[in-house]
Amino acid sequence: MKCPACDKPMTSARENYNYSACGLPHVTLKGVEVRRCGECGEHEVVIPRMTELHQAIAMAVVTKKARLTAAEVKFLRKHLAWSGADFARHMGVAPETVSRWENGREPMGAVADRLLRLMVVTQAPKPGYAIAALAELEDEPAPARLKLAADRSGWHTEPVAA
Protein backbone atom coordinates (compact mmCIF):
# COMPACT_ATOMS: atom_id res chain seq x y z
CA MET A 1 0.00 0.00 0.00
CA LYS A 2 1.26 3.41 -0.97
CA CYS A 3 0.79 6.73 0.77
CA PRO A 4 -1.92 8.85 -0.88
CA ALA A 5 0.06 12.02 -0.08
CA CYS A 6 3.62 11.16 -1.19
CA ASP A 7 3.27 7.77 -2.93
CA LYS A 8 5.84 6.15 -0.58
CA PRO A 9 5.20 2.76 1.08
CA MET A 10 3.06 2.70 4.23
CA THR A 11 3.41 0.30 7.15
CA SER A 12 0.44 -1.27 8.89
CA ALA A 13 -0.01 -2.06 12.58
CA ARG A 14 -2.82 -2.81 15.02
CA GLU A 15 -3.32 0.09 17.43
CA ASN A 16 -5.81 1.66 19.77
CA TYR A 17 -7.26 4.68 17.99
CA ASN A 18 -9.12 7.72 19.37
CA TYR A 19 -12.16 7.86 17.09
CA SER A 20 -12.92 11.58 17.50
CA ALA A 21 -14.34 11.73 13.96
CA CYS A 22 -17.62 10.31 15.34
CA GLY A 23 -18.11 13.58 17.22
CA LEU A 24 -17.64 12.11 20.68
CA PRO A 25 -14.42 12.92 22.54
CA HIS A 26 -13.87 9.65 24.43
CA VAL A 27 -14.31 6.81 21.94
CA THR A 28 -11.33 4.48 21.58
CA LEU A 29 -11.27 1.70 18.99
CA LYS A 30 -9.11 -1.16 20.24
CA GLY A 31 -6.78 -2.97 17.88
CA VAL A 32 -7.79 -1.43 14.57
CA GLU A 33 -5.48 -1.35 11.57
CA VAL A 34 -3.59 1.95 11.25
CA ARG A 35 -1.46 2.55 8.16
CA ARG A 36 1.37 5.07 8.51
CA CYS A 37 3.79 6.68 6.09
CA GLY A 38 7.30 6.90 7.51
CA GLU A 39 8.21 9.51 4.92
CA CYS A 40 5.56 12.24 5.32
CA GLY A 41 3.72 11.16 8.50
CA GLU A 42 0.35 10.64 6.76
CA HIS A 43 -1.86 7.99 8.35
CA GLU A 44 -5.16 6.27 7.64
CA VAL A 45 -7.32 4.05 9.79
CA VAL A 46 -9.18 1.00 8.56
CA ILE A 47 -12.52 0.80 10.38
CA PRO A 48 -14.51 -2.32 9.53
CA ARG A 49 -18.32 -2.57 9.72
CA MET A 50 -18.92 1.16 10.29
CA THR A 51 -22.71 0.80 10.60
CA GLU A 52 -22.33 -1.81 13.35
CA LEU A 53 -19.74 0.38 15.09
CA HIS A 54 -22.07 3.39 15.17
CA GLN A 55 -24.93 1.20 16.42
CA ALA A 56 -22.69 -0.07 19.25
CA ILE A 57 -21.66 3.49 20.15
CA ALA A 58 -25.30 4.62 20.14
CA MET A 59 -26.36 1.75 22.40
CA ALA A 60 -23.50 2.46 24.81
CA VAL A 61 -24.50 6.14 24.97
CA VAL A 62 -28.21 5.50 25.58
CA THR A 63 -27.54 2.95 28.33
CA LYS A 64 -25.27 5.20 30.41
CA LYS A 65 -26.80 6.47 33.65
CA ALA A 66 -25.75 10.12 33.38
CA ARG A 67 -27.75 12.63 31.32
CA LEU A 68 -26.75 13.08 27.69
CA THR A 69 -24.08 15.64 26.82
CA ALA A 70 -24.42 18.08 23.92
CA ALA A 71 -22.06 15.98 21.77
CA GLU A 72 -24.04 12.82 22.55
CA VAL A 73 -27.34 14.49 21.59
CA LYS A 74 -25.83 15.52 18.25
CA PHE A 75 -24.32 12.05 17.68
CA LEU A 76 -27.65 10.35 18.38
CA ARG A 77 -29.54 12.75 16.11
CA LYS A 78 -27.12 12.00 13.29
CA HIS A 79 -27.30 8.28 14.09
CA LEU A 80 -31.05 8.51 13.53
CA ALA A 81 -30.26 10.27 10.19
CA TRP A 82 -32.34 13.32 11.09
CA SER A 83 -31.64 16.91 10.22
CA GLY A 84 -31.91 19.43 13.05
CA ALA A 85 -35.37 20.41 11.77
CA ASP A 86 -36.50 16.76 11.58
CA PHE A 87 -35.24 16.16 15.11
CA ALA A 88 -37.07 19.26 16.37
CA ARG A 89 -40.33 18.02 14.78
CA HIS A 90 -39.97 14.56 16.35
CA MET A 91 -39.18 16.03 19.76
CA GLY A 92 -41.95 18.65 19.57
CA VAL A 93 -39.57 21.59 20.05
CA ALA A 94 -38.33 24.54 18.00
CA PRO A 95 -35.23 24.05 15.83
CA GLU A 96 -33.50 26.70 17.97
CA THR A 97 -33.96 24.45 21.01
CA VAL A 98 -32.18 21.59 19.23
CA SER A 99 -29.36 23.99 18.35
CA ARG A 100 -29.02 25.03 21.99
CA TRP A 101 -28.98 21.37 23.13
CA GLU A 102 -26.29 20.44 20.61
CA ASN A 103 -24.12 23.49 21.27
CA GLY A 104 -24.27 23.03 25.04
CA ARG A 105 -25.99 26.38 25.66
CA GLU A 106 -29.02 24.64 27.21
CA PRO A 107 -29.11 21.12 28.67
CA MET A 108 -31.70 18.74 27.34
CA GLY A 109 -34.46 18.22 29.90
CA ALA A 110 -34.92 14.85 31.59
CA VAL A 111 -38.08 13.97 29.64
CA ALA A 112 -36.54 14.87 26.27
CA ASP A 113 -33.40 12.92 27.24
CA ARG A 114 -35.48 9.80 27.92
CA LEU A 115 -37.52 10.27 24.73
CA LEU A 116 -34.37 10.51 22.59
CA ARG A 117 -32.96 7.34 24.19
CA LEU A 118 -36.25 5.55 23.56
CA MET A 119 -36.22 6.65 19.90
CA VAL A 120 -32.69 5.30 19.44
CA VAL A 121 -33.52 1.97 21.08
CA THR A 122 -36.74 1.52 19.10
CA GLN A 123 -35.58 2.95 15.79
CA ALA A 124 -36.28 -0.32 14.00
CA PRO A 125 -39.71 0.05 12.40
CA LYS A 126 -42.56 -1.50 14.35
CA PRO A 127 -45.54 -2.92 12.46
CA GLY A 128 -48.39 -0.43 12.40
CA TYR A 129 -46.50 2.46 14.03
CA ALA A 130 -43.95 4.75 12.47
CA ILE A 131 -41.80 6.78 14.84
CA ALA A 132 -42.45 9.68 12.46
CA ALA A 133 -45.99 9.74 13.90
CA LEU A 134 -44.51 11.42 17.00
CA ALA A 135 -44.03 14.57 14.94
CA GLU A 136 -47.75 14.67 14.16
CA LEU A 137 -49.14 14.51 17.71
CA GLU A 138 -51.72 17.15 18.50
CA ASP A 139 -51.18 19.69 21.27
CA GLU A 140 -54.58 19.22 22.93
CA PRO A 141 -55.12 16.09 25.06
CA ALA A 142 -58.08 13.86 24.26
CA PRO A 143 -58.97 10.43 25.65
CA ALA A 144 -58.34 7.41 23.47
CA ARG A 145 -61.55 5.66 22.47
CA LEU A 146 -60.71 1.99 22.15
CA LYS A 147 -62.57 -1.15 21.18
CA LEU A 148 -60.64 -4.40 21.37
CA ALA A 149 -61.51 -7.95 20.43
CA ALA A 150 -59.66 -11.19 21.09
CA ASP A 151 -59.13 -14.07 18.72
CA ARG A 152 -56.73 -17.02 18.67
CA SER A 153 -53.76 -14.82 17.80
CA GLY A 154 -54.35 -12.25 20.56
CA TRP A 155 -56.01 -8.89 21.15
CA HIS A 156 -56.71 -6.50 18.27
CA THR A 157 -58.12 -2.99 18.08
CA GLU A 158 -61.23 -2.33 16.07
CA PRO A 159 -62.29 0.99 14.53
CA VAL A 160 -64.38 3.26 16.75
CA ALA A 161 -66.75 5.87 15.36
CA ALA A 162 -65.63 9.38 16.31
Q: What is the mean pLDDT of residues 26-34?
A: 92
Burial of 140 (0-12, 13-18, 19+ CB in 10 A): exposed
Interval 113-120 mean pLDDT: 94
Report for 9-13, 118-122, 139-143: range of highest mean pLDDT: 9-13
- Supply the mean pLDDT for the chain: 86
pLDDT class of 120 with cuts at 50, 70, 90: very high
pLDDT of residue 126: 47
- pLDDT tens for each residue of 38-91: 999 999 999 888 888 888 999 999 999 999 999 999 999 999 988 999 899 999
The pLDDT value given to residue 153 = 86
Which of 7-11, 112-116, 119-123, 143-147 is the least confident region? 143-147
* 97 — pLDDT class (breaks 50, 70, 90): very high
- Where does the chain show beta strands of DSSP type E? 10-18, 28-37, 43-46, 148-151, 154-157
Grade residue 117 by pLDDT with cuts at 50, 70 and 90: very high
pLDDT surpasses 80 at 148: no
pLDDT of residue 29: 92
Span 49-138: which CATH code?
A: 1.10.260
At residue 106, the pLDDT reads 96
Q: Are 137 and 115 in contact (CB under 8 A)?
A: no
User: Which pLDDT value is given to residue 27?
Assistant: 93
Give the domain ranges of the chain: 1-48, 49-138
